Amino acid sequence: PNKEGWLKVIDLSDPGHPRELSTYNFERLNLPSDIWISEDIAYVTVGRGLQIMDFSDPLHPSKISFYTTNEPCHNLYIRGKVAYFTLPGRRLLEIVDISDPSDPKKLGEIAFDDIPTDVELSEDGRYAYVATIKKLVAVDIGDTLSPKKLECYYGNVKDISLSGDLVYIAAFERGLNVVDVSDPSRPEVVSSYETGHTVTGVWVSKGYAYVAYGSGGLRILDISVPSEPRQVGRWEWEKEEGFQTGAAKDVCVSHNIAYLLECEGPSLYILDVSDPTSPEKIGFCDIEGMNYPNTVRVSGNHAYITGSIGTALIVVDISDPTDPKQVFSYPGMGAGNICIVDSLAYVTMSRGIGDYAVEVLDISNPSDPKKIGEYGPSSGKIEDITISGRYMYGIGSHIFGGEHYFDFYVVDVTDPSCPKQVGYLSMPVEGSIIIPRGVYVLGNYVYVGTYSIWVIDISDPSNPIYLGRSSMGSGAGFYGYGNYLYVLGGTDGLYILRIGEATYIGEDQGGLPESFSLGQNYPNPFNRGTVVRFQVPDDTRVSLKVYDLLGREVRTLVEGRLGAGEYEVFWDGRDKGGRPVGSGVYLYRLKGGRYSEAKRMLILR
């Protein structure tokens, strides 16, 4: 996999025809995160420090010096001869003298209670305003050798911008907050505009969907009629200074108790949901040693929490839900998902920047889990998983030759101490990098969440076949239960999709189609299989069938009622009896209402 960063120089003298002049490749794993340019010098924060570069010759950029931090740095700001940047892993703002670009020297640093995410400086250079996950901090940097924190504004801070004496705060789903810092020691909120909450996690149990709702806490939906979900209960955080003080990240329900993972503390809230219409808080504990939690799962009398930056896995004793106790911390650079099967936990672990593997832990003694096995692909990374029977199904991505690839792994875990890969699928993907957001197995199909939902045929585990995908916008993942997918739609809310006929899924790409349409199959010609895309304008009965040139039906690909949207269906080149068809031209015809259209496809064996 390509884990090298680069910096490109583009000639914009003719804006209509930008032209690449040169590319500078950084050292392996030294991925760039921010850049600041002053005259002919570029300052770049990378994986292990600050790199200073000479661009006086744009065709041949060169390194002047490297200031080492030995960990990723971000959020670079240059003022005069001083550089300011954050070290999220150590929760620091570092201040560096760059008056001599060939020999940068540390001036000072200041620590914060949580992870710094952005930096802005006042016009006079006297104050730095640092956004952390939970607040905005004003810092007096008049003495760069000894910076001092002045005061904090508490809020869920993502990004900031400073204009005069006003700081504009992007506060996740809480919207835009405007803070007056004319007196940095007493920041004051002057206005705010709140947006909708963000759906970040969901759990389905006994006809109800329990939804982690960002700063909105927990929502409980009656899904006994999946096409008509309705809210029946809610639980919210206590308010502080008019704002909600928590941010739900994930939720898990076991024996009428909901375990709500809160990411700002971070902390674990325990709620009695025996009456879904009136959830009640019965327990709480802070999560020590973990900066940002990802997932919570419950097995027996323990909750298992994965997180990033600091500690990879934390175990909480919940035998008494009113008095939960943290009993174990598993070290690591970070962890994503966790699947628990009997006394084993399969955890996606970070092995370095952009590199992930699966560790198998024996949790028969939850207070002292032991690593007994590991699986890491020889190329690429595995970031999300699920276990079904003897197999682990994992998804990930890699970059090769400047292209992004989607990766799907089938791993035999019959012997958990020695997992073995038995199947693999990799496909180039247009656009941005793949971000795994869920894996669910139903019968012979795997549903994979990224920014789309992919469908993969695993009837032969050694030869997984891609069937199609459906775009769901900027979904934050999904939860599979029975014949339904519960898709987290971010600020859009929760989607419920019915699955089962896994060769097609409805697709929404920014608006419903106005009419039927049938696209040309791709690839065409083809050998192993091909994909047909079509659009349906409204809820109606649709059929898509393949015929030979004599008009004989070869295969029915779609037959049934579909809602409005865009669809993909995969044909593996076999007839309805499962036999490969011969080389030649075939017709495929889409029918719906009064609409009927056919196109040709070519198989080359």
Q: How far apart are CA 187 and CA 184, in angstroms?
A: 6
146: which residues sit within 8 A by CB, 6+ positions away?
108
Nearest to 410 by CA among 375, 364, 360, 435: 375
> Residue 432 belongs to a domain with what CATH number?
2.40.128
229 phi/psi in degrees, rounded to 5: -65, 145
177 phi/psi in degrees, rounded to 5: -115, 140
Instruction: Mark which of 169, 193, 217 sits at the end of a domain.
Output: 193
Q: Does residue 161 share a domain with residue 41?
A: yes
The amino acid that residue 373 corresponds to is G
Q: Which CA distances in Å does 558 have to 8, 94, 532?
A: 47, 59, 11
> Residue 52 belongs to a domain with what CATH number?
2.130.10.10
> Residue 582 belongs to a domain with what CATH number?
2.60.40.4070
Q: Which 3-state string (H, E, C) describes 90-140?
A: HCEEEEEECCCCCCCEEEEEEECCCCEEEEEECCCCCEEEEEECCEEEEEE
Q: What integer pLDDT is reported at residue 509 of this predicted model?
A: 45
88 phi/psi in degrees, rounded to 5: -55, -35
90 phi/psi in degrees, rounded to 5: -110, 5
Q: How far apart are CA 341 and CA 299, in angstroms?
A: 9
Residue 421 lies inside a defined structural domain of this protein: yes
Residue 228 lies inside a defined structural domain of this protein: no
Cβ atoms within 10 Å, residue 555: 19
Q: What integer pLDDT is reported at residue 161 of this predicted model?
A: 79
Q: What integer pLDDT is reported at residue 430 of this predicted model?
A: 66
Instruction: Mark which of 167, 193, 219 sits at the end of a domain.
Output: 193
Q: Is the dihedral of CA 243, 490, 33, 177 positive or negative?
A: negative
Q: Does residue 150 share a domain with residue 10?
A: yes
Q: Does residue 392 share a domain with residue 533?
A: no
Tell me whether residue 456 is exposed, middle or buried, using C-beta atoms within 10 angstroms of its C-beta: 0 to 12, 13 to 18, 19 or more. buried
Q: Does residue 598 share a domain with residue 458?
A: no
Q: Does residue 545 share a domain with residue 449?
A: no
Q: Does residue 66 share a domain with residue 181?
A: yes
Cβ atoms within 10 Å, residue 541: 12
Q: For residue 583, give both structure tokens.
A: 């080389």
Instruction: Mark which of 193, 222, 252 sits at the end of a domain.
Output: 193
Q: How far apart are CA 310 and CA 288, in angstroms?
A: 10
Q: What integer pLDDT is reported at residue 354 of this predicted model?
A: 61
Q: For residue 188, give both structure tokens.
A: 């004051």
Residue 166 lies inside a defined structural domain of this protein: yes
Q: Does residue 155 share a domain with residue 98?
A: yes
Cβ–Cβ under 8 Å, residues 534 and 519: yes
Residue 293 lies inside a defined structural domain of this protein: no
DSSP class of 79: E
Residue 231 lies inside a defined structural domain of this protein: no
Q: What is the DSSP string of 260-302?
A: EEETTTTEEEEEE-SSTTS-EEEEEEE-TT-SEEEEEEEETTE
Q: How far apart are CA 28 and CA 3, in angstroms?
A: 6
Q: Does residue 566 share a domain with residue 461?
A: no
pLDDT averaged per 10 residues, the chain (length 605):
69 88 80 88 89 93 91 88 89 93 94 86 88 84 89 71 79 69 80 67 86 86 80 82 69 94 89 96 91 90 87 94 94 86 91 78 94 84 87 85 82 95 85 69 82 82 83 62 74 69 43 82 84 83 90 86 75 82 94 92 89
Residue 264 lies inside a defined structural domain of this protein: no
217: left (phi over 0), alpha (psi -120 to 50) or beta: left
For the range 26-29, what are the long-range contacts, defined as Cβ-Cβ under 8 Å and sequence gap of 24 or more? 26/51, 28/3, 28/4, 29/3, 29/4, 29/352, 29/353, 29/354
Residue 387 lies inside a defined structural domain of this protein: yes
Q: For residue 55, give both structure tokens.
A: 């661009």
Q: What integer pLDDT is reported at residue 242 of this predicted model?
A: 47
Q: Does residue 18 share a domain with residue 157?
A: yes
Residue 400 lies inside a defined structural domain of this protein: yes
Residues paired with residue 220 on neighbouring β-strands, in sequence order: 210, 233
SS3 label, residue 174 = helix
Please give the tally of structural domains in the chain: 3
> How many helical (H) and strand (E) elements, i.e. helices and strands, does the chain have?
0, 55
Q: How far apart are CA 579 and CA 592, in angstroms?
A: 28
Q: For residue 486, give both structure tokens.
A: 């519960």
Q: What integer pLDDT is reported at residue 433 of this predicted model?
A: 55
The CA-based angle 592-594-598, given to 5 degrees, is: 65
Cβ–Cβ under 8 Å, residues 33 and 46: yes
Strand 230-235, strand 239-240: pairing: unpaired
Q: How far apart are CA 142 and CA 144, in angstroms?
A: 6
User: Cα–chain-centroid distance for residue 160?
Assistant: 22
Q: Does residue 46 share a domain with residue 152?
A: yes
Q: How far apart are CA 178 and CA 546, in angstroms?
A: 60
Q: Does residue 166 share a domain with residue 49?
A: yes
Q: Is the dihedral of CA 430, 436, 438, 440 positive or negative?
A: positive
172 phi/psi in degrees, rounded to 5: 50, -135
Q: What integer pLDDT is reported at residue 440 of this predicted model?
A: 86
Q: Does residue 40 share a domain with residue 182?
A: yes
Residue-range definition of the domain harbouring residue 31: 4-193
Q: What is the DSSP string of 215-240?
A: TT-EEEEE-SSTTS-EEEEEE-PPEE
Q: What integer pLDDT is reported at residue 301 of this predicted model?
A: 95
Q: What integer pLDDT is reported at residue 340 of this predicted model?
A: 93
52 phi/psi in degrees, rounded to 5: -110, 130
25: which residues sit within 8 A by CB, 6+ positions away?
4, 5, 6
The residue with tokens 């199909």 is: 445
**H/E stretch holding 407:** strand 403-412
